[in-house]
Amino acid sequence: MENNSKNPSGSNDVAVLRMPDGTADISLPVKYDSFGNRFIDVTKLYSQTKICTYDPGFMSTASCESKITYIDGDKGILLYRGYRIEDLVEHGDFYDCSYLLLHGELPDADEKEHFRSDITNHTLIHEKFMEFLKGFQHDAHPMAIMCGCVGAMAAFYPEVANVSDPAQQIRACHRLIAKIPTLAAMSFKVHLGQPIIYPRNDLSFSENFLYMMNALPTQKYQVDPVAAKALETILILHLDHEQNASTSTVRTAGSSQANPFTCISSGIASLHGPLHGGASTAVMKMLLEIEQLGGLDAIPLIVERAKDKENPFRLMGFGHRVYKTFDPRAKIMKEISDQVLSSLDVDDPLLDIAKALEAHALQDEYFVKRNLYPNIDFYSGIVMRALGIPVEMYTVIFAMARCVGWVAQWKEFVSEPLNKISRPRQIYSGHVEREFQILSSRSSNVTAFKPAPARMYSTHARNPHV
């Protein structure tokens, strides 16, 4: 698919903003993306008119121009650098797709081997990190550990703080891609209280992570090739997804020329939120709830609850904010899900419930009419459950994959000659200017903050009295 002209009409198109007081008509340039979608450029609106736009959540605002990922939610299309996600999963692997996002083109044989070797040989973590990891509570959530550890890497690689140096940019990107799986597995081992397992250079990217997460020093561990292939597919499907909350967070942090490790740490923090990276986890919690309500027999009741607008229950893992038809990633994950469940012959009542729920929803007119199909989070949760991956690691694996997209987006931003620090405007709705009151003249404010009663503190994070 070739890159089309950004202005298909060939003219200098403008949109006209007419103010309600009739003071003036304001002409705003119209930009076009590669597919001809229109954008009104308001870059100079404030400097020329002192007028700001208002768009909470940036639902109608493009915060940047990017060549990395494209989504057509109405048609169910996802492109990495112009390549359909279906083709990349079928014909490529993790190294192909990561190189593509980062460098813009698929690698040739020599480029791919050099990239694979560079990633493989940078998987080790500085031994000082062992002392750092020991400082976390033994049952701390792996995402909380990841957030702290990735940010702390800035102290170990200060040279990459020179974000204007292209060589340091690539070095930082490769180190992050290589080391985050190691940190992710270490975080899990700390969470379990098990010995940390070091990476192996003879394993592929997904094999290495499964080995570090599951192996023990006391016995041999053989990575299942079906599990490794399924995990690699999950990683490829989650590499990048346009300007979502965490990616926008990384770009915003990068706009201040912050160290790339701290930028990626900010992305992990954003992804840790339940509204962003917690969707697969929410699917598993829903399946557990259905099991408690009666398992397979409770599915018709659950579906009816989901249809009832007065009922707060929501069917997790169905529908998508961006895709108005079937998520192309979900189609692929459904195939992987079927293969994994068939190959591994897993006996798990939650997976039986998931398959029955999927079949019920796909045949229900209510869901079909509203395009509420199972999404990638639904199938990813099923696959990771079948692979024996605990639910607290779902978002960690999401972060491990999305790190590739984050570094590609960060590199694209810092490489731009005219990048600017992010500085959104606001609609101020607080008090206008008022005079300071001395303490004796202030009236009581019942809505003001009241400090909580002092309590005795414990070092144990799970003490119910803390």
DSSP-H helix ranges across 166-278: 166-192, 205-214, 225-237, 245-254, 260-271
DSSP state, 87?
A: H
Cα–Cα distance between 314 and 305 in angstroms, integer? 8
Nearest to 180 by CA among 393, 391, 404, 394: 404
For 228, list phi and psi in degrees, rounded to 5: -65, -40
**328-344 and 225-237 helices, crossing angle to 10°:** 170
What is Dmax (Cα atoms) for the chain? Answer: 79
Give Cα separations from 40 to 7, 8, 54 (angstroms).
12, 15, 14
**Chain position carrying tokens 């170990």:** 156
Query: Residue 238 catalytic?
Result: no
DSSP state, 442?
A: P
Q: Which of 21, 320, 431, 460 is catalytic?
A: 320
Cα–Cα distance between 361 and 349 in angstroms, integer? 18
Q: Which of 377, 431, 460, 465 is catalytic?
A: 377
Query: Residue 460 catalytic?
Result: no
H or E element, residue 18: strand 14-18
Residues tagged active-site: 320, 377
